[in-house]
Structures are given as structure tokens and as C-alpha cells.
Chain A
Amino acid sequence: MIAQFIDGPLWVFSLSVFVIGVVWRIVMILMAGNRTDLSVPKGSASSGAIRTIFSRSIYERTAATRGRLLQIAGYLFHLGLFALLFFAQPHIDFYAERITGFGWPAMPHWAFILSAELAFLGLLLLWIHRLLSPVTRLLTDLDDHVGSILVFLVMLTGCLALAQSFEALRLIHLLLAELLLIYFPFSKLMHTFTFVMSRGYTGATMGRKGVNA
């Protein structure tokens, strides 16, 4: 009964909340509006926006020791999670069955293990840093911890489910993923989408000024 609920209605509900919520958040941001810049541009705003959307993913060498740790941990976590989310065989099968109707090549098992280890290492480093650094301690709020804990639990149960091939673990993993989807639009996890806007806005402004940001 619970299994059917998690696999059926709750999945549909969580996916709907996620999609509607994300779209709603983006529309709300756009509706806040921006004034047209009347200054004469030196460079292209659109080129600047596109450049910055990508260039801010490049390692910033001027950041000092703590900055280096943050950036490396950020790479490990995000790249590992991206690989797991889109190239793990069980996920591809799930998407093919529930969403896309088609699959794509999966990464080999060793790559899955490596991605999971990197993602865990990155997330734990970021989290430890968050707890220990006076800067992040001052900035961090409940949302940051809830998001980190949910992502950690989803990853942990996902790995356990794969290793154990145990239906109950798969259901717990799916339940947690569904909770994450529901929480997502109301949290900082939205940066997954809004980073394109924030980088784009800054890149466009700086691009008009002829500065590579």
C-alpha cells in the first residue's frame, strides 16, 4: 500500500510541485522587472551574458586557500552528482519508464562508484566547511542545512539501494527523492536554475561595459 503510494501518486505529486514550483519561482523573479539600461554600450550584453554563464564555472585562481577548498569541493560534488543523476543505469531506466520514454548510454559501474565517492566527498567537505568556517557559520541558515541533509540522504539511500538490490531501500530512496523535489522550489536548491539568471544578468551588465566577467 505504502509502496504503491510512493511509486504512484506521491511521485506524480512531487514531480508536479517541482515543475510548477520551479516555473513559478522563475516567473516571479522575472516579474520583479528590470529597467532598460540607457547608457551607450561598449560591448555586447548577450555575448557577455553567455560568456559569464560558462566562465563562472572555471576555477578562480585569485581565491585564497579557503577559496580553493570551496571550489574543488564544489567541482567534486556538482560533477559527481550530475553524473549520478543523469548517467547511472537505474536513473536512466527510471527516466525512460516514467518521463522520457527513451534511454541513453549509462556510465560503467566503476564510474558510478567513482562519481558517488566524489559527490560524497565534495558534499561532506562543503558541509564541514559550512559548519567550521566563521564566514559560512555566520551566513548559513536552516535552509542550507535542510537542503544539504536531504541531498546527502538521497545519495546515501541511492547507493545503498544499488548495492543491496533491496526493494525497501529503493522505495526509501524514491521517497526521499520525492521529498527533495517537493522542497526544491522553496529552497536554495533553486540555484540549480537561477544561477543561469544571476550569472546572465551580471555578464550582460559587464559585457555592455566591455568587461569579461
Chain B
Amino acid sequence: MSEQFEQGLAALRQQIDSRISSYFSSCVHCGLCAEACLFYTETHDPRYTPIYKLEPMKKLWRREHTFWGKLGSLFGLTEPVTEQDFADWETLVYDSCTLCGRCSMICPVGNDITYMIRKQREGFSVAGYAPDGMKEATKRALKIGSPMGVTFKTLQAALAHVEKDSGLKIPVDKKGADYMALFSSMEVVNFPEYIESIARIFDAADISWTISSNAFEATNSGIQIGNKEAAAELVNRVVIAADELGVKYVISPECGHAYTAIRWEGPNLIGRPYSFEVVHILELLEQLQAEGRLQLEDKNTTPMTLHDPCQIVRRGGVVNQPRELLDSVAENFVEMKDHGVMNWCCGGGGGVSANERAEPLRLRVFERKKQQLQETGVNTMVTACANCRIILEEGIEHNEMDTEVLSLTELVAEHLVDGSKKK
């Protein structure tokens, strides 16, 4: 047994709390969770049954937390968790789980299987059994500040373009601003229109906001790979920057897991509550609209559907806001068959998009989203997560579909009343 594996096993052991003990005690092996997982429904491979992905953790729980397991281990009859188990399960834990949480919504005994897989990754990551792509992304996030290697200079270049296009000054390191905006690297590199959109919306709504040069990255590779120390470090950078600038709110961008990271896991990772509030961009936009500060006009007549990003909607609780916003800019908003908290994942969440070896499987299970889309008969899909957006675009390209993917925030910005529109 290698030293690193022993450390991984110890990390896994630490994850078994009351919740996980109750989950394993309740599981009756009914396999219903398989029906909620796109990796199973699109492949019919039983190994992709969500609860089966937790066999190593279950083995440890059984050995150390049950009567038969303890008795058996006294006589050498209970099988221990081996390094081979970690090696065999690595792809199930990382490649075939997007932490989308759909299985957690369907389990008859209420097991939050996603929470369990998230926790199991802590052990795997420490033991070194994680995809190279995710390891590298985490290293870059810690060293450079972004999983994609985006530096503040890169952001500055994007901001210069935004300022030129919008005619607006983007506030950086403005002390005493009300809001501090975060971005995902994907937005900075692939979708800088998002930055321009929020700049124009905030200008129209007269929002006092800023960007921190020290912490602009919202994503958290530490959470995806399952490394709580790295995750805490990344959250802490945002917390320090927000405290230094004295902001009241931190805005989580159109990125699903960034919201889970900063909104729900963050305080628990750093071990203390924040001195500020975290608000998702869609929550803020809906609030501004409700307060009459966001004036929109000219509804789009093109039929549109909404892809719910799992971490924002199902795992984040931002369910109605995207619908309210889309309803106010689209005249023909068509819901997908399974929508809201039961929507199907794009297939690239939970670090799968950063995991190159998972790409063939990811593209295969995109069939579920393709089918969901085709059922609506709509060719324009709106979403609110840069990662979902890139994954959806790749799936659409791969399947040669005629579907356009739009950002909800960008769509809202396009419908600002005259005077606040793109100059």
C-alpha cells in the first residue's frame, strides 16, 4: 500500500459523516438512480448506476461502520479497500459523473448521491487517482489564479475591448463599491460579451460595482477534483479581495459550479461566514427588474427554450429567476419536457469538461440533451452557464444540429430600453 494511497484512504475516511452513514444504511440497492443518470440512460452500462460509483466508499463504510464489517475484519473476512479499487473506479468517479444531482432528486430513500460522490473525490484526489486534465487545471488555478491560465492581464485586454465597444468605464479595484463581480475564465476567453452585457446592465440600473485585480476568477477546480485545501484557498482569495474592497455583495457569474463553490461550499471550506452576501447574476437581474431598475423592451419573437444549469438551478436554488427573465425578453418561451430541478445535464459539469479522456463518453451522452431539444422543436436554446454553453455548442456541432445557444444575461442586455443599449 503506497503512502499516497494511505493518505487518500484517510481522507476518504474523514468524509464519512452522519449524512453518508445514513445514506449507506438506507440504500436498498433498488437501482432507481440509474434512471436519473444520463450516463446510464444513454449507454445502458450498469456500471454507470450512480450508487455503484460509490463502491469504494461503501466498502470502507461497511468495514468500519457496520457490525458485520467490523466482525469480519477481526477475522480477516471483510475485504479492505485497495489501491486497485481506486484505480478501477477513477473513471466512474470523474468521467461518468457531472455532479449534476439528478440522481439525488429521485432516490426513494432520499440519498444525496451527488454529495457522496463529491466527498468520495476527496479521497481519490489525495490518493492521486484523478484525471490529469483536472489536476493540471487545479495547479493552474492555484499558481496563476485561473484553471485556464487566464491572468489579470488577459482580463485587462478583454476589458479594454469591452470599454471600447460599450463606451463605458469598467471599474477595477474601486473601494466601497456595492458589488464585486466575478467571472469564469471561459467567459473572459470565449464569451467576453457577458462582461460587456453586465457593464451595460449595471450602467443602466445605476449599480455601484467593481472588479478585483486580485480575485476575478469565480470557478473552483478544487471542488471539482475534490481537494478541499485547494478549494478553500481559491475561495479565500475572493473573500480577502471582497473584504479589502469593502463590498456588500459578490456576484457569481453565469457559471454553475462557481455558484455552488462561492455561495454554498465557500463558507464551509474556509470555516467562517462571509462579511458579504453572494448573489448569482440571475438573482440580481431578477431583483433589479422587480425593483423597476431594469427596463426591458421589444420581446424577441423567435421560439426559445431554456437549458437549466444543474448547479444554478437544481443544486443552487435559482429556479424561477431565469424563467422570469426569459419570459420578459422572449415571447415564445418553450419549456423542455424535464425542466427546472429535473432538467438533464449538458454532460460537461463536475470537471468532465476539463477531462480530455472523458470527451468521447461526454459526446455520446449528449444524445439525451439532443433528444430533449428536438422534443421542443425549438432552435434557440438559452442558458446561464459558460461551461454549459461551450459543452452544448460542442454537442450541437458534433451532432450537426441547427441550434443556436445564447446567454441569458446577454439576451437581457440586448433588450435594455434605448439609451442603455449597445452604443
Contact = CB atoms under 8 A, between A and B. Distances in A.
B109 A62 contact: no
With a 10 A CB-CB cut-off, give which of A25, A30, A35, A38 has the most chain B CB atoms.
A38
B111 interface: yes
Contacts of B274: 40
Interface string B266-289: 111001111001100000000000
B22 A63 contact: no
Interface in A1-60: 25, 28-35, 37-40, 42-43, 52-53, 56-57, 60
A191 B109 contact: yes
B341 interface: yes
A112 B203 CA distance: 71
Interface string A126-153: 1000100111111111001000000000
A135 B105 CA distance: 19
Contact of B29 (A25, A144, A199): A144
B68 A139 contact: no
A63 B36 contact: yes
B110 A191 contact: no
A64 B41 CA distance: 9
User: In which size bucket is the chain B interface?
Assistant: 35 or more
A199 B110 contact: yes
A34 B19 contact: yes
A29 B29 contact: no
Interface residues of A, number: 61
A31 B80 CA distance: 23
Contacts of B342: 62
A210 B47 CA distance: 32
A29 B52 contact: no
Contact of A35 (B17, B107, B316): B17
A63 B30 CA distance: 13
Contacts of B20: 32
With a 10 A CB-CB cut-off, give which of B29, B68, B271, B272 has the most chain A CB atoms.
B29
Contact of B22 (A67, A201, A206, A209): A201
Given A38-B267, A201-B19, A206-B317, 19 more contacts: A32-B16, A32-B65, A35-B268, A40-B277, A52-B110, A53-B110, A57-B108, A63-B35, A66-B31, A66-B34, A133-B31, A135-B31, A138-B49, A140-B29, A185-B67, A188-B25, A198-B110, A210-B317, A213-B104
8 tightest A-B contacts by CB? A199-B110, A210-B317, A38-B267, A135-B31, A209-B317, A197-B22, A139-B29, A198-B26
